[in-house]
Structure 1
Amino acid sequence: MNEWSPAPSAGYLPIKDHGLIGDGRTCALVGRDGTVSFMCVPRFDAPPLFCSLLDRHRGGSFLLAPDGLRLSRQHYLEDTGVLVTELRADTGLVEITDVFPLRPDARLEVDTPVGTGELLRHVRVAQGSVELRVAVRPRGETQVERHADGWELTCPKQSVKLHLATSRPLPGLECALRLSQGEDLWVRLRWSEPHAAGSGRSASQCLDDTVRAWRRWSAFVMADTPRPDLVRRSAITLKLLDYAENGAIVAAPTSSLPERIGGDRNWDYRYAWIRDAAYTVFALRRIGLPDEAGGFLHWALTAAGRDGRLRVLYDVDGRPPPPEVIEAELEGYDRSAPVRWGNAAAEQVQHDVYGELLDCAFQWAATGRPLSAGLWHRLSGLAEQARSAWRTPDHGIWEVRTQARPFTYSAAMCQVALDRAARLAIRLNLPGNAATWAAEARRLTGQIIHDAWDERAHSFTEHLGATGGLDSSLLALPLRRVLPADHPRMVATTQAITERLGAGDGFLYRYLPQDSPDGLDQPEGAFLLCSFWLVDNLAGQGRIDEAAELFDKLCSCASPLGLLAEQIDPYDHSFLGNFPQALSHVGLLSSAVVLARAERGIRPELSTHAWFR
């Protein structure tokens, strides 16, 4: 059981002090103070109904908490996405169970619509008696009508109509109730159609059915790894970010949580990146979740090129996200403006996407799924484009907002595109220039080894031509099988990155803005995924004890609920950036599997599929 913590102050709750719940369409963050502080309905990338996380006065929230709150803590019901918040007040103890109910026949292990379109909150007084505060405040002007069975709320800003039902009459949407030991309150906030599947069940039935569904699904997760508790929680977290309609996985459920308090590195991550698909699919397959892996693969292969252009990211429907705009009305988390909706990176040129997509197709075919003639025609065309694209500047994996540059990682991913295309054509007897692609891939590998190497720095650099600073994305080259982790120049680069981009305790910066201008000219936190990449590289170099020690340090930074943000403040280990971050959990999963294999005496190959042999 997690430790009790003092009641939050009047300011913004630390990012770490939130839990995530969801239903395969959308999700919510619930704070340790009993507040639903971020929730978009009816889906992940819809306008937020509650976002007090980004403005505690104007953002809107849904509060259930006792007066006189002194201590609180949170935990998940074991192996589920059901969250329990315990609130100890001067006069009693309250338990709040929060859940997005799943349909009664929900099978989480396959990609089908599983949610019922409601938030269920159950308050139970475990000790004493309390004055329970209730406050339902959607963002923006709300039209409220009282009915015999509850309240109807019309929210024009979100274009949604809500129905609020409670097990005890409420005098208003902002009120207080006296509850004593053993008494409870059920609150159901619904935005689905009145007769949606499962909507006729009792609240307790909804909760029980949902717990069963989660535990049935969680039983499939491989647990023979270091830190199996965090591996399972990471898998559940990724499932909570999985759009069940089509298998898309959003990068994070939030927007504009700052990468530095007071800075403006604030981005909207409620979309799905092609880049994330390749990493995520690889990790999900390795922990026993092939359906989720296949769903994301199918989404990526379907979305890419739908409008005649290969984009970096898409909305959950596989369409371009809305234009990036700044929300002037909201002050931002802890007054860290701006708040952004939409993401302009969707319009950037990033050559790594060729390799990401071909790698997705490779993983798809390697599991026995067919490649249609139409899809292969598109993919082989991308391989042809990659032959020349690597020679031209782009905006890179970190989506810099400066002039395009010839990034080493981008060239490396063009090598991946050529290599995977050649392997696919040969293995499946598909039409195309397999011999040419394979030869080009080998030549490009040699080009990277020589042209990105800086003899004075004794490391690879972020740009071809051995210019620019160090970049932690170079640690991903062995993960994508561009170079082996124990290649002498990769060993030297790993050491250089550890020394020069190290932020202490094994944390790494992505790059240093003063050496690698990104258009923002501000520092940021340490990027967690890069540290997990370092774990994999150390293991690949035979430094297993060092890799295991670093992995343990990174795991110790997880929140009490086992959740990870995008970045860590290296000075106080507070969370920064959008939360929870899918790729941070993907990094944990991948490193856990690498270490598990190493502990069994198996050489920690970063990709072990027979198609690579």
Structure 2
Amino acid sequence: MGAGDPPVNDRRLPATAWRTDGYAPLRHYAVIGDGRAAALVARDGSVDWLGLPALDSPTVFAAVLDAARGGRFLLEPEVTYRVARRYLPGTNVLETTFTTDRGIARVTDALTLHDDAALAPMRELQRRLDGVAGTVPMRWSVQPRFAYGARAPRLVRRAGIPVAESGSDALAVCAWEVGEPTCADDAIGGRVDLQEGTRGLIAMPFAYQEPLVFPARSECDARMEKTCEIWRHWAKERAYEGMWREAVLRSALTLKLLIFAPSGAVAAAATSSLPECIGGERNWDYRFSWVRDSAFALEAFLRLGCSAEAHAYFWWLMHASQLTHPRLRVLYRLDGGAQAPEVALPLEGYHGSAPVRIGNAAADQVQLDTYGELLQTGWLYARAMGRLDNDVARRLAELADFICSHWQRPDSGIWEVRSAPVHFTQSKMMCWVALDRAVRLAERGLIPHGHAARWRSGRQAVREFVETRCFSQERNCYVRSAGSEDLDAAVLLGLLYGYGDPGDPRLRATVDAVGRELRHGPYVDRYSGEDGLSGTEGAFVACSFWLAESLARSGRLDDAVELMDELVGLANDVGLYSEEIDPVSGAFLGNMPQGLSHLALISAACAISKEAGR
């Protein structure tokens, strides 16, 4: 919530008063999805982001990146209102209740699921309207703008149903008891006086290079109920009973939305180019799967009893990385592809934050830490399953050989700086982790052990480098890079991944230094020093959770619990986190929902609960 915002459920304002220059605060967004596509729904009922047919496809709604040209799906009362929102328990189905002086209306939003065992080709956004009390005048308008706002639709009617077309894309607007749809000004819309006890429905099926099927209302109603049933069944199976259960379950459900079901890849976020600094250039496309997130993702799946997701993700990761073996790309497309050319779009950007980018040039960087994360992921998978496929085992051994030959190189680091590469401490620590996990796997006979002696020697050489060149005697802590005096919260990952014992004085002192110099209340900055980009940024949400987990692992449980309680309270009204938060205003910044933020929450909650014996 921004500075000066009234309480979430105590507003009597028209929707236009909630927005500035047409843009809603990022904290106001909820996400819905079906495992293939994802949409952002603002608190005022507007769907401002939706890529179809897939999460990483060009958008049909992108008003969050250009309020004038991006396209949206409006749905709200015509009179002033208050809003309360929630996800239906155990689901990713969003319920928004509008309270007006004339009555109460409820909207239920979902990207519907067809079956829990198969993926149907059709995509469908459903918006159900229920009159709860009185009579509420409601308006709605579907304003599709295909190809990231580049193409206005051609509006036609098929069998009396409005259809928006553009090339091989088409979406229909099927409406029941919400007023007669009209087509005007490149939009399909209507209005209704929603009376108590009345249930209206707007279904928006989408087709890409396929026949567009018009559903019957009974089919839509059945899919909505099936969607709730599938989500509840999945949530019920999650194995976590520790502290912060509701936050962990919501994070798990959010991550499930970011899993691209056709491949098993985990997207870093559902959006592109939401800014880390309003009006700045730090606007990136996060609809890719980062190797950086792999160990956190697999461990979260295993801890929460998501065995199917763990298997699917591990094998997707092995398939994608095989294409570039033995080198790792920083990120891969959700279909496993290795190319992600970065292009700027002619959109205004959120509150004028340009450029708006699709693709991500960081894919071409050298980031040595990714080898540690991949070997850690292999270690976690092998330990859980008791074995590795022979080809995977051989490739993991070859990755260890690659690190022995390349760990001495400078790199761009976990934060993907766009200045000259340097010797980042966290990257070197993760090279140590890569070789340590290879040694452990070899000792268990899970990967070929012919080069194990070389890996042990390399592991020792990496440690000597870190201890002699990446530790500041003056500051008494590990620093951001060799020879630097700057700090980096990512060095906490050395503790979390076992670079040293949690009681090691140097690691404990580093935890203290991060807490003392990078922390502001519950917020933790990524690092101190320059990164080659202009402008500032918010506090990185995952870093705060890393600090909480590090405090618990290093024996400061009370401090960890106190910080964790604060962090859980920083989520928005439906339990979501963006990539960053402005420590002054509390405004969300960056792409959302951010997978790493939710992964870090799960990891910290599990670790702290374990330390507390709960």
Is 1:595 aligned with 2:608?
yes
Secondary structure of 2:275's counterpart equals coil
- Deviations along 1:333-380, one digit per CA (max 9) or x if unpaired, are 122222111111011111111112212222221122643333333222
Q: Hey, what does 1:576 align to over in structure 2?
A: 589
SS at match of 2:394: helix
CA displacement 1:490-522 (0-9 Å, x = unmatched) = 1111111111212x212110012xx2x211132
Structure 2 CA distance for partners of 1:307 and 1:437, relative to 1, 3 Å? closer
Confirm or deny: 8 A CA contact 2:283 2:356 kept in the other structure: yes
Q: CA deviation at 1:322?
A: 3.3
SS of residue in 1 equivalent to 2:417: coil
**1:404 and 2:407 correspond:** no
Q: How does 1:77-476 map to 2 (within 5 A)?
A: 77-104=88-115, 106-107=116-117, 113=119, 116-139=122-145, 140-156=151-167, 159-168=168-177, 169-172=180-183, 173-192=188-207, 193=210, 202-308=219-325, 309-328=327-346, 330-368=347-385, 370-428=387-445, 430-431=447-448, 432-464=450-482, 466-476=483-493
In structure 2, the residue matched to 1:73 is 84
SS in 2 for 1:206: helix
User: Aligned AA for 1:530?
Assistant: C
Structure 1 gaps, min length 5: 602-613
Q: Do the aligned partners of 2:330 and 2:363 also contact (CA within 8 Å) in 1? A: yes
Residue number in structure 2 paired with 1:13 = 24
For 1:520, give the aligned amino acid: L
Show CA shifts across 1:428-482 (max 9, x none): 2532311321232233223312321111111111112x32511110011011111
Identity %: 38
Structure-2 change in CA distance of 1:264 and 1:141 (3 Å): same
Shift in alpha-carbon separation, 1:91–1:476, aligned structure 2, 3 A: same
Q: Distance in 1 between matches of 2:527 and 2:358?
A: 25
Matching residue within 52, 63, 68 for 1:41: 52
The alpha-carbon deviation at position 131 of structure 1 amounts to 2.6
Measure the CA separation in 1 of the matches of 2:380 and 2:37.
27
Q: CA deviation at 1:571?
A: 0.6
Give the C-alpha shift of residue 524 in structure 1: 0.7
Distance between the aligned counterparts of 1:136 and 1:196, measured in 2? 18
Question: Which residue number corresponds to residue 606 of structure 1?
Answer: none
Letter of the 1:79 partner, please give it: G
Give the distance between the partners of 1:222 and 1:3, measured in 2 at CA. 32
Which residue identity is paired with 2:206?
A: W
Q: Does residue 506 of the first structure (1) align with residue 517 of the second (2)?
A: no
Is this contact kept in 2: 1:98–1:119, CA < 8 A? yes
Letter in 2 for 1:573: G
1:554-606 superposed Cα distances (whole Å, 9 cap, x missing partner): 001011101111111111211111111111111111111111112218xxxxx
Task: Identify the residue that residue 551 of structure 2 maps to in structure 1.
Answer: 538
**Partners in 2 of 1:365 and 1:316 — Cα distance?**
24
The answer to whether the Cα contact below 8 Å between 1:19 and 1:561 also exists between their aligned partners in 2 is yes
Q: Distance in 1 between matches of 2:461 and 2:294?
A: 27
- TM-score normalised over the length of structure 1: 0.92
Q: Secondary structure at the match of 1:221?
A: coil
Confirm or deny: 8 A CA contact 1:103 1:115 kept in the other structure.
no
Residue identity in the other structure for 1:506: P
Q: 1:183-222 CA distances to partner (integer Å, 9 max, x unpaired)?
A: 2321111124558899996222111111111111101112
Task: Work out whether residues 102 and 115 of structure 1, in 8 Å CA contact, stay in contact via their aligned partners in 2.
Answer: no
* Distance change (3 Å), C-alpha of 1:498 and 1:179: same
One-letter amino acid matched to 1:314: Y
Q: Supply the distance in 1 between the matched residues of 2:596 and 2:407 (Cα, whole angstroms).
A: 25
Distance 1:429 1:597, change over 3 A: closer
State the alpha-carbon separation in 2 of the partners of residues 404 and 6 from structure 1: 52
What is the aligned partner in structure 1 of residue 3 from structure 2?
none
How far is the alpha carbon of 1:6 from its aligned partner? 4.4
In 1, Cα distance between equivalents of 2:613 and 2:373? 30
Equivalences, count? 588
CA contact (8 A) 1:102 1:116 kept: no
User: Which ranges in structure 2 are unaligned for 5 or more consecutive residues?
Assistant: 1-6, 146-150
SS state at 1:367 partner:
helix
The runs of at least 4 aligned residues of structure 1 exceeding 6 Å deviation read 195-200
RMSD (Å) for aligned C-alpha atoms:
2.1
Paired amino acid for 1:295: A
For the 8 Å contact 1:254–1:270, the answer to whether it is kept is: yes
Q: Deviations over 1:7-44 (max 9, x none)?
A: 44242211111111110111101111111010000101
- Helix, strand or coil at the partner of 2:599: helix
